[in-house]
Structure 1
Amino acid sequence: MSGIGSLLILLLTIYSYMVIAYILMSWFPNARESSIGQMIGQLVEPFLEPFRKIIPPLGMIDISPIVAILALHFARMGIAAIF
């Protein structure tokens, strides 16, 4: 069972890094339009969308990815506690 838990934690960690990479891509022009940016966007946007519906942007700053990363962190902690 610990192997499954370790795998899930690893996958959630990788997904967290993908969300961070997607956030950083917004700082560089045309980074999200690249093939890698589009692939990451297709994987990350469905996860970020519910958070964006709940949390409105504060001016020009969108804090929903931060809350999404925290949710992934709590999910990792929960999986670690279960396994």
Structure 2
Amino acid sequence: MSTIGLALYYLFDILSWIIIIKSLMSWFPNGMGSKLYYILNNITEPIEGPIRSIMYKYNSGPVDFSPMIAILVLMLLKRVALIVFY
């Protein structure tokens, strides 16, 4: 596997974990007000924002599924990176 493919693979993996950590932090009372949450939100908002805007056209419920869909998209992109760069 080439260096670019390996870097993309790990980048998508790290982004998935950042989304998971940010989502878990939103469950705690002081989690969303912390500086770490603000930093993680700045990293993940370009990924989750477009998904969230598309989803709110069809579902305006209290549960935000955009992190889960973003992780699925990142998993798909990770597979594509494996296929293209292997």
Same fold (TM over 0.5): yes
2: CA distance between counterparts of 1:23 and 1:52? 14
Partner of 2:37: 37
Provide runs of 4+ in structure 1 moved above 2 Å: 56-59
Encode CA deviations 1:31-78: one digit per residue, 9 max, x unaligned: 122111111011111211100111124522111111111110000000
Partner of 2:72: 70
Q: Which has the higher contact order (CA 8 A, sep 6+)?
A: 2
Cα RMSD (Å)? 1.4
Report the TM-score, using the length of structure 2 for normalisation: 0.87
Report the TM-score, using the length of structure 1 for normalisation: 0.90
1: CA distance between counterparts of 2:4 and 2:13? 14
Q: Percent identity?
A: 37
Map 1:13-32; keep pairs closer than 5 Å.
13-32=13-32
- Long gaps (5+) in structure 1: none
Encode CA deviations 1:9-29: one digit per residue, 9 max, x unaligned: 001100110011111111001
Letter in 2 for 1:74: L
Does residue 1:60 correspond to 2:72, yes or no?
A: no
1: CA distance between counterparts of 2:22 and 2:37? 7
2: CA distance between counterparts of 1:34 and 1:62? 20
SS of the residue corresponding to residue 62 of structure 2 reads: coil
